[in-house]
Each structure stands twice: as structure tokens, then as C-alpha cells.
A and B are shown apart, each in its own frame.
Chain A
Amino acid sequence: MKPAPFDYVRASSVEEAVAALAASNGDAKVLAGGQSLVPMLNFRVVDAPLFVDINGIEGLDLIEEKEDGGLRIGALTRHFALETSVSVRDRFPVLHEAMKHVAHLAIRNRGTIGGSLSHADPAAELPMMAVLLDAKIVAAGPDGEREIPAGDFFTAPLTTVLAPDEIVVAVDLPGLPAVTGWGFEEFAQRRGDFAVAGVAALVTREGGTVTNTRIALMGLHDTPVRARSAEAAFGESGIEAAAVAARQDADPMNDLHGSADYRRHLAEALTRRVLTAALERAAQ
């Protein structure tokens, strides 16, 4: 389990990294925390002639509070930094909760948000959080920066709209309305494993009535998705109807960790749990 030979550059700026990627005709790979890439490299699942290490780029490791109550998170922010950030905990408690479920401490110390989003595992927490929180993913390429809504970013398992010569530099999370309750539940047989299925919800109340509901699913589709029919059913008929509707929003696959039927069942059960929790929190 040793990698094939490869070249390595350590970029010191975004421009340098992008230039190195562009020069390789799409064969080079960005190396961030290495927690997904290096195992694939050792399994020889990934075989690239060049690795562009972005860990030396200054300024990509930040969590910045925005006026609108949101956050800008640099691509090199480690999972552990997100997990322990007071800004994240105060402004996006649902993300704070989700981070506890990402892998194990050693991996959280190295893994980055940019890496997790770019890797685009359909059962990973951060991609699902990006979809739930309406994140804008900021990517830099030879022609400069562009913003990609999270809802458009993920196209298939382990696949995004990023061009081979683009890198994620930051993620913008817009602030949440004042009275927003949240719920997060994932099911994995072992602590730290990728989820068999996971659901998160945000419920906003104004003056005692629910004005906005967002529900997102992971491990239940080939990308993280918003559960649109569950959201609609919740507004019309409440938790039970939403939980049942979440089954329709899920289009899960069969694998060793769970059948599609079981995952659909989890979609319903977890949706019930997260909506109950979110409503309760929104009432406080």
C-alpha cells in the first residue's frame, strides 16, 4: 500500500497554486489535510503526476465574523478549529454539533473544510452543512474568483463543479434569522465513521409561527440535498408528514453499511428527531 511516484510542489500563494494546476493539464491534485487524498493515493485509487500542497498559503486559515451574523471560513480551516470555534458555536450551533461527528480527533486536526467540500463525499458532514446553510463556496482559478452556491456545487459522489485548475479558497455562510432552532442527527455504527444517513434541520419562527424550514440530508442521495418535499410537508402538516415525505426526498443506494430501504427508514426517523429538536429550540 505505497503510492506510485509523484511530483510535489508547495505553493505559497493562491496564484502559484492555480498556475501549477493549470500547467499540468488537469492531472495535478490539490493536497490540503491529506486525510482523504493520502489514503486514496496509498491504495493507488488516485494516481496523479503532481501534488500541489496548499498548506503553506497564508490567509486561508481563518474564521471571520460578518456583519450579517454570518461567517467567512478559509479553505484551510481545520475541522478541529471549526469544532472549537466560539464564533461557530454562537452563530451556527448546528455546525458546531455536526463537527463532533466528523471522523476522529487526529483526522480533525488535519482535515480542512476546503478539502471536505472538494472531496464531496455524499455522507460527509461539511458538504451537507454547506447545503443546509446556503453557503457560497468561493473558488479561485486562472481568471480570478467566483462564488458557487452550495446547492449547485456538488454534482455526483466525489464530484463537484470545480475545474481542475480551480481551488476553493473560502466558504461564506450567511447569517441566520434571529429565532432559528436547529436539529442534527446522524446514524453511524461507530463514533467517527461516515454516516449511514444523516439529517439536519433549521426552523425559523417569527411571532410564534414557523416562517422558514430547511432540511438537508446526507448519505441519502448521491450528493447532499435539501429535502424539499419534507420542508413543504412540514409547513403544511407538521412533523409526521415531513418525516414520511423525507423518504421521497431520499434516493439512497445499497452498500455494505445499509440497504436503500434501511436508509429510507432512517431518513424518516431522523427527520422526525431533528424537526422535534429544532422546533423545541426555536421555541426557547
Chain B
Amino acid sequence: MSPPDDIDLTRPQFIGAKVMRREDPRLLAGEGNYVADIKRHGMLHIAFRRSDHAHALITNVDVSAAQAMEGVVAVYTGADITRLANPYQATSRMKNYQATFIPPLAVDKVRYVGEAVVAVVAISRYVAEDALALVELEYESLAVLVDPEEALKPDAPKLHDDLESNILAAREFARGEVAEAFADAAATAGGRFHFTRTTPVTIEARASVAEYDKGTRTLTLHCTTQIPGIVRDKLSEIFDLPGPRIRVIAPDVGGGFGGKTSLYSEEIVACAIARDLGKPVKWVSDRMEDLMTTGNAFDEIVDAEIAVAEDGRILGVKADVIGDVGAYSIYPWTATIEPVQVVSFLPGPYRIANYAARVRAVATNKTLTGAYRGVGRPISVFVMDRLLDMAARKIGMDPAEIRRRNLVNDDEFPYKAASGLVWDKSAFQACLREAADGIGYDELRREQAAARADGRWVGIGVACYAELTGVGSRIAVAPGMPINTGTETCNVAIDSTGAVTASFGLASQGQGMETTLAQVVAEELGVKVEDVDIVLGDTASVSHGTGTYASRGAVFGGGAGILAAKAVHEKIVRVAGHLLEAAVEDIETGNGDVRVKGTDKSMTIRDLARALYSDMGRVPKDMRDEIDNLEATKVYDPFFGTTTSASHMCLIEVDPETYKVEIKRYIVVEDCGRVINPLIADGQAHGGVAQGIGVALMEEVIHDKTGQVLTASLVDYVVPSAVEIPSIDVVHVEAELPGTVGGFRGLGEGGTIGAPACIANAISDALSPLGIEIMEIPATPERLFRLVEAAKAD
């Protein structure tokens, strides 16, 4: 790998170093500051009475008994909140999209089990919960829609009377001549795939503390959000308050995974109540509320088919996607974000000339779906890579080989994928090659043959994917969305004490951004990593920022950080030139010092700051007027963003008696561009794969026919624990660096994108002697049992 020309190698190299996470001592010793830790004088507590109906008219709400209970301060209904907060919805310019209003507390009608109906405010959460039982609600049941295929029928009852149908979004993609491709095929394969609904389980459940300062008429919301800037901007409209009088702070946040990238009803209700009562209020979700109401994930039915030639070349792919998006179109991403990504990413890193796809996002009486690590692409890869294996089996070709023949080659970039996405150069083929080498693919195939001869169910899985990360202003993260996800801001400031602070619109949920961003800024400025303070998750620190999602933190934060640090560096050099009486070209910084190259003339940056700010006369007025201060704010827009790619391979064994799947080996080889911190990069891959394993084998949100959530505790919503996660090998291929500032590609979501497909392929491979293909995940022991029983009965 050769570094881009603009990286100065004379300074210490922090980028790429295994710097220990600076946030860990605080977080691991219990000295973090989470929303639940916040206490305020006179603080009140909110508990929500939630709907136990999936679809019903609210015919009567009587809060008088609750209101009269000792310790209860106030009770709010949907009508009350309507008075206090302007309505809002997630709009989009996308054709065939229907927005829904999302009432913070249900008004007239409830549309999913868990929807908040009444908020009780009391002196403690205990009292508030006691009072919930005294709220009297009467409902008139409506037909419940839990099956998206029922919900999309023209005569289906509508969830939203003001809309034309339950189809919130529809879109089609077409390229080439699909019908001809299928007519010419040596083999076709496909069927109906089902990727069930999951939910992003974080250690810290969602929480809000809202305060309203009557004197300054300022609203402050501490909440567990990944998108403080987006929340602030929308609250400004909802409450008719100018930006400076609303501050949204995401303090330490214990995991997000996309579940905290949406604006939530509880945040709005907490703000409305704080402002109305003039008292600080707190709401901390319990696990049951969290499992019922945090934006759910995935949930698609995909009818898909592939056509291949005899030599394994993909001739065409078609797909019809139904996304079950739940009761409302989530803010800000809209109901399109998940299902539309499925079709736009389905062609993946492969050369596909003929592609036809349709997607419909359908409202049902379930929790809203939103973003979850991978968004859409875990399904794209599941379907595409399953199709490839199914086709390979039909033509008798090895799964790794059929991928090698179809992955876009190094000399074909930039490559316009069949759905219109453009891949910039990324190591598609090298990742596959290195994964095969790393896991010892050929040897594993021999071992598998021997194990099979002994009657064991051993399988090898392969999956390849490409994703766009750090997507700039050219492409909206969700189609037609009215917010700008294409830029991010960084302010780097050296103050009059000589201390360096870098402030970002990003927010951290435990990814280690305080460390990685400090590495980037320190390297660019020429100071020590530990001397850079990082400010994240506070809307008061930069004028615009959206937050952390879509694998954008390193690309945007790193890029904006480099640009801002570079600008401050220029100012330092100018001032140093004067103070050290040398030409600007001869000045260099490093380790917190400025020096004149080749001499022993130097001073600390701290002294330089003091000289500029505090020592009158040391820097002439002209220069001070020009420089102003040692501060710069830069906005970075990667415009297209960049491609991250990876290959996953695994070895699994299915117990032929209990149907338990054991993952024996797992390797990820990814091209995430320049690695800022290998410890953190590996950790992201490990965590992503762990969640992908959960999705592949265990996790499923289950509703019964009446729309009740059967998985509202962690006994029934099964996430993998440390014991179930195998050792995962991670290899970073630093191939040609992308054109992003700093050469970074995003890597946060990749693990979850690749793992479900890889594991499903491995299980299908293991069970191939029985002719079983995994079409639905999670592949629980129960599902495998039924598949094997059915195969035996045939």
C-alpha cells in the first residue's frame, strides 16, 4: 500500500496504531455518564401506558383515578400532546411514497401493541407505574393486519384512513433483458426467501431526560440518540423553538446499532412535558418496552431467481421484495430505508447485466421498522449469495469458484452495478482470495468430504458483499429524504491554555470514536493523541451535524477532522514562523512542539497559543487580525462516498440429533481502506459478525395473529451471548485507498451484512445431501428439525 501524496510522513504515525481505547477506563470502571445516571433537582419520572391492542379505536380515556393518586403530578393523553407539539412526519421526494403522521401519544386509534397512549408523570418511576393501572382505556377492536401479503391487497383494511393503501412505498428497478437472460440459461435457481424481523438489542435501553429553563426559555434533552443533530432540528419545528434554545446531548450511550437513529415518541413527549410543567422529567425504557418499541429491523419476503450460464456466469437476476415496515413510516428514514436498500444492493459485488426487481413497503400492525446494522443489505446478500450457491449446485461448480468468476475484477472499476449504484475500486477479488487462503478452503473441502463419509453434517459457507459507506451529498441515505446526510462538521480549536479540542456532529455509542478521531486529529496537527479532547454528541458544539449511522463515522469524522486540523496547522505554522524567525516552509510540528527543521529552535504549541492569545505584543496586530485564532471549522462532503467490500467464510457442523449449529471457524477479510486503529477495526468486525450470527441462528421478533409481541423479554428474544460466538479471524486488506480524505472506508456494518448469508450457505452446504436449502432465517434448531423431517418424508 502506498499512502496518498498529501500525507506527511515526517510526523508521528498515529493512524494505523493500536492505540488503547481512551473511553474504556471510564466506561469499564462505572464512571460513564449515561442518561439514566442523570439526576436533577425536582426531577419527575414518566411511565407510559401502552396499547395492548394491535389495531383498535380508542373509545374512552379516563385518567382521573390515576391523576388523583398520591405522588402523581400530571397525566397526559394524545390530545394533550397534540396541543403541546406540532405534528410531524417523515417526508420523501420518492415517487409512490406515502408519509404517515406519527402521533407521539396515540390519538383516536392505536396501530401496534406497545404504542404509547398515556404518559403518567410522578415523583418516582414506582409511583408512575402504580398509577398506570388506574388509567382506564376502552377500545373497539379493528381487523388486525400482521401478514404483509394480506395488508397489501387492494381491499385490505387501511391502517391510515388518509392514505390510499397500506403500501407506503413502491419502486422498480430494471436493467437489460431479463426474460432473454432466463431463456438462455443453462440453469436457473430460486424461490421464496424470508428474512424475519429482529430488533437491535443494546445493553443500554433508550432513555431521555428533558429540562426546560423558564428563565432562558431553553429546552435541553439528554437522550440515547445516535442522531442528536437530526433530533434537535426536528424538535425545533415541533416546538417552534429556534436552534440555540434547544440543545440535544447524547452523553455516554451503551450501543445503538441503528436502533437509536430515529426520532422517538418518548423523546418528544418528555420535551413537551418538561416544557409544560417547567420541571425536569426522566424516562428510562425498561427491557420490555425496549423490545416492543425500538425500531425493529429487516422483515422481508423476497421471491428471487437467478439465471446462470454453463460456465457459472450470472446471466440475470429477478427479485420481488415485500417489506413489512410496521405501523408508521419512521422519522427521518421513512419506510423506504430498509426494503428499498434490499433491491438496490441485491446485485452486490457481482457482474450482472440483466436485473429486474420490485419492492413494496407495506404497513402492518407491528412496531415500526427502522435502521439496524446493515440496513437491507443483510437481506440482499442473503438472497444473492444463496442464489449463487443454489445455482452453483445445479451446475456442479464450487461456491468459491462461481464467485471468483462473477465478482467485478480490479480492472473494471468504477463499476456501475445493475441497480445503478457505482462501486469505486475496492478489493473484491483479493478479499475472496485471502479469505480462502486464510481459512484453508481447499483443505476444508477435503475434511468436509471425509466428515460426510462418516455421516456428519459439516458445511462451508461463503458470502461476498459490497456496500457504500461514507455516502456524501450525491446520494441520500434513504431515497428522497429531506435531510442532508451527506456532510459532517468538525471544529478544531486550540484555546488560550494551549489545549486542543476537536468537536464533531457525530455521536458515539461505544465504537471508540473518542480514540480514533483523536488519532486522526493528533496526527494532522502534530500533537500527542492524549492531548486532543474529543467532543461528540452535543448540538451546541457545531452548527450542523447529523450523527453516527450508515458506517459514516470514520469517513466523515476522519475527513472533517483532517480538514479542520490541517487548517489549524496552517495557522500554527504562520505564527511559529514569526515567533521562531523562520520561513513557514521550514516549520514542522510534532509531539506538541513546533520546530524549525534542521535546527534546535523550537517551542511548544502551548507556548505558541499563549503568545498569540495572551502575551500582548508578541504577535503583531496584522498577523493576529489575519489569523484570528487557532481554530477552524470544516465541513466534509465525500460526495459519492466509497465502497467497502468483504468476503466471509465459515465452517459449521449441524448436530444430526439436536440440530444445534456449531460455528467452528469464521474468517472475515475486508477492504475498509486505511485502518485507523486495528484494535477497533477488528472489534467492529467481531461485533458485527456476532450480531449476524444472532440474526442467522437465533433472533426473531414474533407476533401472534392478534399482533401481540411474543418476544418481549430476553428469555424469548434470544440474542447470542459470548459463549455462542466463536473466535473470528479478521484480515484487513489495505488495497488501493479510496478518494476519501484520509483514505478511510466505513466498516461498522459489514459483519452483520455478511454473516447471515455466510452461515445460511454453510448450513445449506452441510444439509445438501438431503437436498435442503435454507430459505428462511433464523435457522433455529426447530426450523432445521422440520426441514430435515420433511426431507426424510419425501
**Which residues of chain A have a CB within 8 Å of any CB of chain B?**
1-5, 43-44, 187, 189-194, 196, 256-259, 261-262, 265-266, 269-270, 272-273
Contact = CB atoms under 8 A, between A and B. Distances in A.
B721 A187 contact: no
A271 B287 CA distance: 37
Contacts of B567: none
B528 interface: no
A189 B718 contact: yes
Contacts of B786: 259, 262
A187 B658 contact: yes
A270 B697 CA distance: 21
A74 B58 CA distance: 54
Interface stretch (B334-342, B488-496, B777-785): B777-785
Contact of A269 (B288, B658, B723, B782): B658
9 shortest interchain CB distances as A-B pairs? A1-B286, A269-B657, A191-B723, A2-B126, A262-B785, A187-B658, A2-B129, A262-B782, A256-B716
A110 to B, nearest CB: 18
Contacts of B142: none
A151 to B, nearest CB: 28
Contacts of B126: 2-3, 5
Interface in B86-120: none
Contacts of B288: 1, 43
B196 to A, nearest CB: 13
A266 B782 CA distance: 11
27 contacts: A2-B126, A2-B129, A3-B126, A5-B126, A43-B713, A44-B129, A187-B660, A187-B781, A190-B721, A191-B723, A192-B723, A193-B715, A193-B718, A256-B702, A257-B716, A258-B781, A259-B786, A261-B785, A262-B659, A262-B782, A262-B785, A262-B786, A265-B785, A269-B658, A270-B658, A272-B657, A273-B657
Interface in B634-669: 657-660
B781 A262 contact: yes
Of residues A190, A191, A259, A262, which shows the largest number of chain B Cβ atoms within 10 Å of its Cβ? A262
Given A1-B287, A189-B660, A269-B658, A258 B782 contact: yes
Interface string B711-724: 10101101011011
A5 B129 CA distance: 11
Contacts of B781: 187, 189, 196, 258, 262
Contacts of B721: 190-192
B405 interface: no
A266 B658 contact: yes
Contacts of B716: 256-257
A272 B721 CA distance: 29
Contacts of B718: 189-190, 193
A245 B724 CA distance: 32
Contacts of B175: none
B782 A5 contact: no
B607 interface: no
Nearest to A3: B126
Interface string B773-794: 0000000111001100100000
Contact of A256 (B658, B710, B720): B710
Given A2-B126, A43-B288, A256-B716, A191 B657 contact: no
A256 B724 contact: no
Contacts of B710: 256
Nearest to A268: B657
Contacts of B125: 2
B232 to A, nearest CB: 30
Contacts of B698: 189-190
Nearest to B285: A1
B130 interface: yes
Contacts of A43: 288, 713
Contacts of B713: 43
A191 B786 CA distance: 23
A190 B723 contact: yes
Of residues A3, A257, A259, which shows the largest number of chain B Cβ atoms within 10 Å of its Cβ? A257
A192 B721 CA distance: 10
Of residues A1, A190, A261, A272, which shows the largest number of chain B Cβ atoms within 10 Å of its Cβ? A1
A273 B656 CA distance: 13
B46 to A, nearest CB: 13
Of residues A3, A190, A192, which shows the largest number of chain B Cβ atoms within 10 Å of its Cβ? A190
Nearest to B125: A2
Contacts of A262: 659, 781-782, 785-786
A275 to B, nearest CB: 13
Nearest to A187: B658
Contacts of A272: 657
A196 B660 CA distance: 12
Of residues B713, B721, B724, B781, which shows the largest number of chain A Cβ atoms within 10 Å of its Cβ? B781
Contacts of B130: 4-5
Contacts of A261: 785, 789
B691 to A, nearest CB: 15
A258 B713 CA distance: 17
Contacts of A2: 125-126, 129
Of residues B286, B658, B715, B723, which shows the largest number of chain A Cβ atoms within 10 Å of its Cβ? B658
Nearest to B130: A4
